[in-house]
Amino acid sequence: MSGLENVLLLRHGETVGQSGARYWGATDVPLSVIGRMQMRLAAPLVAKYRVRCVYTSSLSRTREAAALVAPNVPSVALAAFDEVHFGHWEGLTREEIASAYPEEYLQWERRPADFSYPGGESLLEFRARVEAGLAHVLSDPGPSVLVIAHRGVIRWALSHLLEENTRAIRELEIALGSLHLLHRGTDGRWVAHLLDFTDHLSEMTDENSPPDTRSLLPPMSKR
Domains of the chain: 6-216 (3.40.50.1240)
Q: Contact, 14 vs 176, CB < 8 A?
A: yes
Dist. CA 46–CA 181, nearest whole Å: 10
How confident is the model at residue 114, as a pLDDT? 86
CB 118 within 8 A of CB 97: no
Listed as own residue / partner, the contacts of 186-195 with beta carbons closer than 8 Å and 24 or more positions apart are 188/1, 189/163, 190/7, 190/161, 190/162, 191/162, 192/158, 192/162, 194/223, 195/158, 195/223
pLDDT values of the chain reduced to their tens digit, one per residue, 223 residues: 679 999 999 999 999 987 778 999 999 999 999 999 999 999 999 999 999 999 999 999 999 999 999 999 999 999 999 999 999 999 999 999 999 999 999 999 998 888 999 999 999 999 999 999 999 999 999 999 999 999 999 999 999 999 886 667 778 899 999 999 999 999 999 999 999 999 999 988 544 444 333 333 333 333 3
pLDDT of residue 7: 99
Surface-to-core class of residue 113, CB atoms within 10 Å of its CB (0-12 exposed, 13-18 middle, 19+ buried): exposed
Q: What residues are paired with 23 via a beta bridge?
A: 92
Rounded to whole angstroms, the Cα distance separating 156 from 160 reads 6
> How many residues are present in the chain?
223
Q: In whole angstroms, what is the distance from residue 157 CA to residue 169 CA? A: 10
Q: Can you list the alpha helix ranges (DSSP code H) found in the chain?
A: 33-47, 60-69, 94-100, 102-110, 123-138, 151-162, 166-170
